[in-house]
Amino acid sequence: MKLYILIHEQDTDSSWGTSAKPFIDRAAAQDAMRQDYEDTIKRWGFDEAVQTEEHRSYCHDGGAMIRNDTDMEQWRIEEHELQVEMAVEVHQGLVQAIYANADIYPEVYDLDSSDFAEDNETAEVDIKAAELEKLKQQPGWRAVY
């Protein structure tokens, strides 16, 4: 499992410090970084059209920076691999247990219906199937088995 850590460093007259936010999707980390960057540009009243050694800014996919003399804020996205493993125990066609080496929150979508299903049971299965399909379309979701 890949983790994308958005690291924000601030060294200004009014504040100093570092923060880190984890993301499981690179695009989400980039969006958060871009939003923080744009908010800071507005808050500082920074003129991006004027670029010098002491007054410059940029925002790229992997990092951003704003510098005005000695005041500086910068962001970077670091990618880390986290080895998350999961095992699903199935007995007689039923999930009995799920084991993992990390805190994960699995949800089982049982799309089976009885041989003589009534309309409401079939409708419930259709709703579950639609929920699962929507989930699978989200960024970062993929079949792992």
Separation of CA 14 from chain center: 30
Name which of 45, 34, 43, 27 is nearest 8 in CA terms: 34
pLDDT of residue 11: 95
Distance (Å, rounded) from C-alpha 125 to C-alpha 134?
14
Mean pLDDT (whole number) for 44-59: 93
| Whole-angstrom distance, CA of residue 124 vs CA of residue 129 | 9
The pair of structure tokens assigned to 7 is 């690291």
Which among 78, 81, 112, 80 is positioned nearest to 94, based on CA atoms? 112
> Using one digit for the tens of pLDDT, what is the confidence trace for 88-143?
888 888 888 889 888 888 888 888 777 777 778 788 888 888 998 998 888 777 78
| Cα–Cα distance, 73 to 88 (Å, whole number) | 45
Alpha-carbon distances, residue 123 vs 44, 96, 118, 134 (angstroms): 54, 25, 9, 17
Claim: this prediction has a pTM higher than 0.85: no
Instruction: Give the list of residues 6+ apart from residue 134 with CB closer than 8 angstroms, or none.
Output: none
What's the confidence (pLDDT) of residue 142?
79
**Residue 93: per-residue pLDDT:** 81
Q: Mean pLDDT score of the chain, rounded to an integer?
A: 90
Task: Determine the average pLDDT of the residues in 45-62.
Answer: 93
